Amino acid sequence: MTHTPGITRPPRDIIDALKHLGAASVAGILGHIGIRNPHILGPTSWNPGKAIAGPALTLQFMPKREDLYGEGEYADPEKQLHRHVLYHVQEGDVVVVDARADMTAGVFGDMMSTYFKGRGGAGMVIDGCLRDYPNLKKLDLPLWIRGWTPNFHTQTGLMPFAVNVPIACGGVTVLPGDIIVADDDGAVVVPVALASKVIETSKVHHEWEDFSRMKLMQGAPLQRYYPLHDDARAEYEEWRRANPAPPTSK
């Protein structure tokens, strides 16, 4: 049996807080604290309206080399490393795949994706393609991918090479266990060591956003209300006392 390593999962409350923030807010905060580009470029949402956050299980593809890969998809299924990343899936996990932006090979199809959903996976982010779109559409899985192909995963020029190793996905380094936040804006990578700082920074930066949004909708000056000018701070604080933030507010 092929052995592949597992991951260390961050606390659920941290993951939930990042999901509540959303990809755009998380990317902006990361930019301000030094991670300039956490956005996985290329994969886009194929199930609009879905939002996820969860720890990354990683799968790396490499250009196929026949002496390393061999022949026959089913000759020895347990050598197929794309299966093994799914064996690690727990509820809320996100499978992140470096498929080299290849548009000719489907990383997973109907059966593998059904297994992923049955294991409780939150969603997939793939710098490449899936296959079996008519059936996957029925699964209602949150997916961030480049597109679709009728070809299976090693039919052309790719082979699965490693599971739960550092990968480059859409121009971003993803470490196993990093937190993925994805919605209709795209998918971003949050280093676990910075997750708490992102959440704390969001509380300071966004505490006044509901107030500012209200004022801007009323046609108030952008210069005064976004970002909130010091001269408007007392006005905001008076509004906040009359309109306490709900417990789940950013």
In this predicted model, which residue has the larger pLDDT, 66 or 88?
88
Predicted confidence at residue 249, as pLDDT, reads 40
Predicted confidence at residue 139, as pLDDT, reads 95
Instruction: Check whether 198 has a pLDDT greater than 60.
Output: yes
Confidence category of residue 174, pLDDT binned at 50, 70, 90: very high
Report the candidate in 5, 180, 189 with the shortest Cα–Cα distance to residue 87. Answer: 5
For 159, residues 6+ apart whose C-beta sits below 8 A from its C-beta are 61, 62, 63, 64, 65, 68, 69
pTM above 0.85, yes or no: yes
d(CA 174, CA 186) in angstroms, rounded, equals 15
Residues 210-224: tens digit of each pLDDT? 899 999 999 999 999
For 97, residues 6+ apart whose C-beta sits below 8 A from its C-beta are 58, 59, 60, 61, 85, 107, 124, 125, 126, 127, 128, 167, 169
Residues 102-149: tens digit of each pLDDT? 999 999 999 999 999 999 999 999 999 999 999 999 999 999 999 999
Instruction: Check whether 1 has a pLDDT greater than 60.
Output: no
